[in-house]
Amino acid sequence: MIAIVDYGVGNLFSLSSSLKALGLKAEITNDAQKLRDADRIILPGVGAFGDAKEKLDATGLVPVLRAEAQKKPLLGICLGMQLLFDRSFEYGEHPGLSLVPGEVADLRDDLTDKSLKVPHMGWNSLQILKDDPLFKYFKDGEYVYYVHSFYARNCAASTLGSSQYGNVAVTGVVRNGSVWGTQFHPEKSGDAGLRLLKAFSEL
């Protein structure tokens, strides 16, 4: 069973539907025991980092997530990926879960071409930088769907794939041990995204 962490952030309809469409058993939950019993965990999320971290802290699940992340595959999606890092500079400075080394910064600050629109929203092609079992069914250069204004940086050692936006190589996929993260939404990235989720279910 895949446990989708429910901490009151974001719309989980598509994520659970996409797993169901793949024939996978998934449950949206905030129950610590269910996270312990699950084969793997997905940490979703949309919105602002500080607010989401506060809500995640309030569930009391952070120590459980930390412990389980050592034992089974965990996938953070979008803001859920950003939460895996050490800190974020979205509206102030907020500590993250420190499951992947690096920080989350404003894309706007690092783009030299100021005519580029932020949020980075739409389909961008993902360049695979390091091969990984997560890419078992994914081809280099396939398009994935992004919606975000902040991005992970200073995380080169963990970065498996990125998408070019102006001068910035936007961190697309990261991995540290049994913790993975995607900045884009696999559950909104059509067939390519479903194949990525299928590979995650086989890790």
Binding positions for other proteins, rule: CB under 8 A: 11, 13-14, 17-18, 20-21, 46-48, 117, 119-125, 143, 145, 147, 164-166, 187-191, 193-194
Q: Which of the following is catalytic: 68, 90, 142, 187?
A: 187
Query: Which lies closer to other proteins via its Cβ, residue 10 or residue 96?
Result: 10
**What does the alpha-carbon distance between residue 40 and residue 176 come to, in Å, rounded to a whole number?**
15
Q: How many angstroms separate the most distant Cα atoms in the chain?
A: 48
Asked if 184 and 11 count as a contact pair (C-beta separation under 8 A), the reply is no
At closest approach, how far in Å is the CB of 123 from other proteins?
4
Least Cβ distance, residue 70 to other proteins (angstroms): 30
| 120 among known catalytic residues | no
Question: Among residues 78, 103, 148, 155, which one is catalytic?
Answer: 78
Q: What is the Cα–Cα distance from 49 to 9, expressed in whole angstroms?
A: 11
> Least distance in Å: CB of 113 to other proteins?
11
Catalytic residue among 94, 120, 148, 185: 185
In angstroms, what CA-CA distances link 191 with 18, 26, 154, 156? 10, 19, 30, 27
Q: Which is nearer to other proteins, 63 or 114 (CB)?
A: 114
Identity of the residue, 30 or 127, whose beta carbon is nearer to other proteins in the bound complex:
127
Whether 155 is catalytic is no
Closest CA to 144 of 166, 168, 170: 170
Residue 192 Cβ vs other proteins, minimum distance, rounded to whole Å: 9
Residue placing its CB nearer to other proteins in the complex, 97 or 144: 144
Cβ atoms within 10 Å, residue 88: 25
The CA angle 110-116-120, to the nearest 5 degrees, is 80
Catalytic residues: 78, 185, 187
